[in-house]
Amino acid sequence: MITENLIEKDKVYECDCMELMRVMAAQDLKVDCVITDPPYGINFSSHFRKEKFEVILNDNLGDEEFKKFLQDYFDGCYKILKEDSFLISFMGWSTIPKFNRAIKAAGFEIKSMPIWVKNNFGLGYYTRPQYEPMYLCLKGKPNPPETAISDVINCSRVPNLIHSCQKPVDLICKLLSTFTKKGDIVFDGFMGSFTTAVACHKLQRHFIGAEQDGKCYEVGKKRLKDFQSQISLFDVAS
C-alpha cells in the first residue's frame, strides 16, 4: 500500500504500479515521458539465474487476463502522461499484437518500432534470438528530437545480470537523451533492477516508479544508492 500523502519525485515505490498510477492520477501528477518494460506474458524463466529472479510477476497470466492487464496498464500510463509526450515500451516479438492493441486502445499513436540488437545470441531450436523490439508511442504531437536516431540500436547485453530481463543502462540513456530533456520526470511502472532510475540519475532526469517484487526492489534500491554514491564521490573529486 502507498501510505504517502504526496507522491515524490526520484523515488521508486514498492507497490503495484496500477495502485501508484491511480494515486498519481488522483493527485493530478503528470510525467514527461514513460519508458517501461512490462511482463511479456510468456511465463519467462531464466535458464542461467535460478538462484535469483527466476519468476516474473504477472508473466504467467491467461490470455484474456493478460490482455486486460496490458490494457489497464497503458490506460494508466496515458492518464499520468503530459500532452504531447512520448511513451516507449519494450515487448517480446510474440506479443506485439497484444501490445499493439492495448497501446492504441489507450489512445496512443504508435510511431515506430525501434529494435535493440544485442552483442550475443540467446537459446533457440530454429533461430537464436538477438534482438528485442520496442514501440515509440505518441500522446498528442510531441516535438521530434533534435537528431533522429536509427531504429536499430546496437547495445551490449548486461554481462552480470541482477534481473533476468535487465536492460543496459546505456540503452535507456540513449532513449532518454533522445526523447527527454534535463529536469523531465520519467515514469516506469516495472522498475525491476532500477535501470531506468539509474539512467535518469545519470542524465539529470527525475523519475517515479514502482516495483512489486520485494526481492527485486531491495536489490534495485541498493544498486541505485551505490550508483548515487559513486556519482557524488566523482563530483567531489572533480
List the alpha helices (DSSP H) in the chain. 17-26, 63-80, 96-106, 169-179, 195-202, 214-237
Greater confidence (161 vs 180) lies with 180
Mean pLDDT of 212-217: 92
Q: What is the C-alpha to C-alpha distance for residues 177 and 157, in angstroms, rounded to an integer? A: 19
Query: In this structure, is residue 221 part of a structural domain?
Result: yes
Is 4 a domain residue?
no
Where b means 16+ CB within 10 Å and e means fewer, 202-228 reads bbebbbbbbbbbeebbebbbebbeebe
Rounded Cα gap, residues 203 and 182, in angstroms: 7
Count: domains in the chain: 1
| 79, 27 contact by CB (below 8 A) | no
pLDDT digits (tens, 9 = 90+) for 60-82: 667 899 999 999 999 999 999 99
Tens of pLDDT, residue by residue over 103-159, are 999 999 999 999 999 998 888 899 999 999 999 999 999 999 999 999 999 999 876
At residue 161, does pLDDT exceed 90? Answer: no
Provide the residue range defining the domain that includes 55.
11-237
Check: pTM over 0.85? Answer yes or no. Answer: yes
pLDDT at site 201 = 96
Is there a domain that residue 3 lies in? no
Confidence check: pLDDT of 52 > 70: no
Residue keyed to cell 519467462: 44
Q: Is residue 223 part of a domain?
A: yes
In this prediction, residues 193-199 reach a mean pLDDT of: 96
125/40: higher pLDDT: 125
Residue 70 lies in a domain: yes
Residue 6 lies in a domain: no
Give the CATH number, domain containing residue 70: 3.40.50.150
- For residue 2, being part of any structural domain is answered with no
Nearest to 20 by CA among 86, 72, 87: 72
Q: Are 221 and 12 in contact (CB under 8 A)?
A: yes
Over residues 8-35, the pLDDT tens digits come to 999 999 999 999 999 999 999 999 999 9
In a domain, 62, yes or no: yes
